Amino acid sequence: MTWIPPLLVAIPLLSAAATAGLDHITPRPIQDALVIGAATATTALAFVLLWHAESHEVVEWFGGWRPHHGVALGIDFAVGPLAAGMCAVIGLVVTLALLYSLTFLREAARLFDALMLVALGAMCGFAMSGDLFNLFVWLELMGVAAFALTGFQVERLGPVQGAVNFAITNSLGGYLFAIGIALIYARTGALNLAQIGTSLSHGPAGGLVIVAMTLLLCGFLIKGAVVPFHLWAADAYAVAPAPVCAVLGGVMTDIGLIGVARLYWSVFAVPFGHGHGVGDVLLWLGIATAVLAGTMAFLQRHLKRMLAYSVVCHIGIMLAGIGLLDSAGLAGAELMFLAHALLTAGLFFVAGILHVDHALIDELHLRGRGRGSWVLAAAWFAGTVGLVGTPYVGIYLGHGLIDEGARPWVLAPLWLGSALAGAALLRAGARIFLGWGDAEEELLGRAIEEDPVERDVLRPLLVGVALVAVVLGVAISIVPGLGQRAEYAAERFRDTSGYAAAVLHGRAVTPPASLPVSIRHTSLESILFATGTTIFALGLALAGLYRSRLPRGISRAASRTLAPPIRVLHALHSGVVGDYVTWVAVGTAVTGGIWALLLHG
Amino acid sequence: MSFLPYVVAAWICLVGIAGMATSRNLIHLAVCLTVTQSSSYVLLLSVGYVKHGKAPIFVGTKVGSTAADPVVQALTLTDVVVSVAVIALILALALDAHRLSGSVDPDGIADISG
């Protein structure tokens, strides 16, 4: 089955070339069939690959350049169940987004479809790559496609700003990553991840390896929009067309975290003695991301910007799961990725439909306009509840697995972030679909210019796609056997020596003892936390809706104490790219400094 | 072993970042990004440099003769290709920014914030 991994990249990239090249010759229906067919075929093959990857590591050496006596000569794709699962979800979300954009971006040239397929191929390549430099190439390829997709509607200034900020910060991240590659190559003379890991496992890791790790991981954290590297995300998502947001927010941001996990367990786990120095920093970054982005989500009135911060918030929770460095945490991050990708895509789709219906995307402007759209309301609230993590809904199972390895002081801020982001979405839903709440709220800042209106859309198709995404996302936590399989996939992913043996010596991995097909249960603590979070999010949403009706003393005290920090938060997210570059430089330096203190000597 | 190439690489990288952070012009910003990236070329080439080594072309050379590392040269070339795509895109966006707002100042196009 080693022929599948290259196809996951080749099919989308070749179809993208065909779509772009044949743009003026073939009629629209054939083009559409080609695009949707390519995305569907990629998704289907990814599921087949997942099936095979469960029993053995699928390793493909390009051009047959296999390792010689355990020394890698060529470039490989090495696919375990986790990477294959990622490809399947990426394929699914991109297919849904392409279906959605069949009628959504009619005026846009077909280059749009080509760019989406390039992004799909690059993301699959990234998830499967076993070579450090190829990771960089896939990272940049998906980056370039995403920058162009973000700035697709260049008739207004907003998309230009979003695309510039996105392109500059992410390219800077990519170049820091390239410098890290050069340092690692200088030390080990290898580019294959398994080879680098084997080579570094012999001696103690010195300062050079710490610097290289900082540059490599920070490169991925910038892609993953982790605090303090997250500033570009909201600018880019607020201006991109809804189907692009679904792909960027649903899968492309999260993929940076897969890179972090892949690098850590294949390369840096052994040199740093599996100690908690690396993981603790990731954990703290995750906690900071979850809380700060949750708060920022609550302070937004532009629906897509609110969703962008909600994405960043959940990325923080996933990063914390990875930072715990145990199987449950990684499996939790993986399950959260599944549910979060589908739910986020679904909510972006709903936001896009609201914009089609009312030519508005601002929560306050849309107040009460969604009354009567029961299907949309159901999709929005179901997606929101799934993102809060109410027991056994949506991201709950993933969050519950992360809880298992975490100490209570870690759990509380993670659930708090989830509650804040969820409260923002609940508040927006109640305001739009139920007409609840005040018509004005000065703490949310000023309105942002609206997107251009899409005409002649096939509305049932849009609604159908949104519903599929939300329903699949909500159901993730109760799919029988999924939790156990995620844990097995995480164990395989964390097995550094097993990975190296499979890649360099072609040795078989231990296949799983028959995994049970039942719903994975979580601890009582998680159920209590999740229930508390749901209630807290509801309360917070109501407080956000009816701040003016709180007793006057409380209301005034609240605005007096909250307004200054809120102003500071808004000012920090300045939208100016120079500030973002400064944050990247400072964040990388501080992260590296902390690692140097914790790991050296 | 000389430390000079490494110091030069670090210097180029930091100068580029400082330029990006303080830039008031998108085209200048794009050039600063290229400057930062150039540091990785210097680093890669100095990593692969072998004293008295020849260019890594092995037709007609004796087995065992020293040559510079061909891998880093391939990496540098790929790096250049990648950066061309990125820079082209950023310059195109700078043109759009100028068309829409008459300015290429990143502060001037900061329409959305918070």
pLDDT tens digits, A168-178: 999 999 999 99
Mean pLDDT of A253-279: 89
Q: Using the beta-carbon criterion (under 8 Å), do B114 and A147 form an inter-chain contact?
A: no
Q: Find where tokens 């029961």 sit.
A: A374
Rounded to whole angstroms, the Cα distance separating A600 from B77 reads 34
Q: Which residue of B has its CA nearest to A232?
A: B113
A207-239 pLDDT tens trace:
899 999 999 999 999 999 999 999 999 999 888
More confident residue, A514 or A127: A127
Asked if A167 lies within 8 A of B109 by C-beta distance, the reply is: no
Angle at A112 between CA A40 and CA A87, to 5 degrees: 35
Quickly state the pLDDT bin for A462 (edges 50, 70, 90): very high
Q: Taking the domains of chain A in order of start, what are their residue ranges?
A: 4-599
Asked whether residue A447 carries a pLDDT value surpassing 80, the answer given is: no
Number of H helices, E strands in chain B: 3, 0
Comparing A181 with A515, the larger pLDDT belongs to A181
Look at residue B88 and tell me if it is in a domain.
Answer: yes
Per-residue exposure over A174-201, b if at least 16 CB sit within 10 Å of its own CB, e if not: bbbbbbbbbbbbbbbebbbbbbbbbbbe
Distance from CA of B40 to the nearest CA of A (A): 5
| CA–CA distance, A489 with A50 (Å, rounded to integer) | 10
pLDDT over 90 percentage in chain B: 54
What pLDDT was estimated at residue A410? 87
pLDDT at A590 over 80: yes
Nearest residue in chain A measured CA to CA from B33: A172
Q: Which of A167, A178, A584 has its CB closest to that of B89?
A: A167
Q: What percentage of chain B exceeds 70 in pLDDT? A: 99
Residue A151: predicted pLDDT? 84
Residue B76 belongs to a domain with what CATH number?
1.10.287
Residue B23 lies in a domain: yes
Interchain CB contact of B111 with A (< 8 Å):
yes
The pair of structure tokens assigned to A286 is 């995750």
Please answer yes or no on whether B44 and A185 come within 8 Å at the CB atom. Answer: yes
Q: How many helices (H) and strands (E) does chain A have?
A: 23, 2
Q: Which domain holds residue B38?
A: 4-101
Residue B35 pLDDT exceeds 80:
yes
pLDDT digits (tens, 9 = 90+) for A545-562: 988 788 888 878 888 888
What percent of chain A clears pLDDT 70, i.e. is strictly above it? 99
User: What are the start-end ranges of the H helices in A26-107?
Assistant: 28-53, 81-104
Give the per-residue pLDDT at B1.
57
pLDDT bracket for residue A601 (50, 70, 90): low
Q: Does B111 fall in a domain?
A: no
Q: Identify the pLDDT of residue A42.
A: 97
CB-CB under 8 Å, B89 with A172? no
Q: Please, are residues A252 and A188 in contact by the beta-carbon 8 Å criterion?
A: no
> Given an 8 Å threshold on Cβ–Cβ distance, is A585 in contact with B17?
yes
Our count of domains for chain B comes to 1
3-state secondary structure A541-582: HHHHHCHHHCCHHHHHHHHHHHHHHHHHHHHHCCCCHHHHHH
Cα–Cα distance, A559 to A581 (Å, whole number): 32
pLDDT band at residue A456 using 50, 70 and 90 as cut-offs: confident
Confirm whether B93 is domain-assigned: yes
Q: Is the per-residue pLDDT at A513 higher than 80?
A: no
8 Å CB contact of A161 and B33: no
Of A157, A168, A179, the CB nearest to B20: A168
**CA nearest to A356, candidates A339, A373, A341, A342:** A373
- Indicate whether B108 belongs to any domain: no
Instruction: Enter the ipTM.
Output: 0.95
- Stated as kind and residue range, the H or E segment containing A58 is strand A58-61
Identify the band that residue A563 occupies on the pLDDT scale cut at 50, 70 and 90. confident
Task: Over range B64-86, report the average pLDDT.
Answer: 89
pLDDT band, residue A108 (cuts 50/70/90): low
Residue A107 has pLDDT above 70, yes or no: no
Q: Is the pLDDT of residue A70 over 80?
A: yes
Q: Is residue B106 part of a domain?
A: no
Q: What are the pLDDT digits (tens) for B88-109?
A: 999 999 999 999 888 888 887 7
Chain-chain contact of A157 with B29 (C-beta, under 8 angstroms):
no
Decide if B25 is inside a domain: yes
CA of A100, closest CA in chain B: separation in Å? 26
Q: Which two tokens stand for residue A374?
A: 């029961």
Q: What is the Cα A529 distance to its own chain's centre?
A: 24
- Taking CB atoms and an 8 Å limit, are A164 and B36 in contact across chains? no
DSSP A450: P
Among the partner-chain residues A133, A161, A162, the one whose CB lies closest to the CB of B75 is A133
Distances (CA, A) of B27 to B30, B41, B91, B113: 5, 21, 6, 22
Model-level pTM? 0.95
Query: Closest chain A residue to B14 measured between Cα atoms?
Result: A585
Contacts of B75 in chain A (CB under 8 A): 133, 181-182, 185
Q: Which residues pair with A68 in a beta bridge?
A: A71
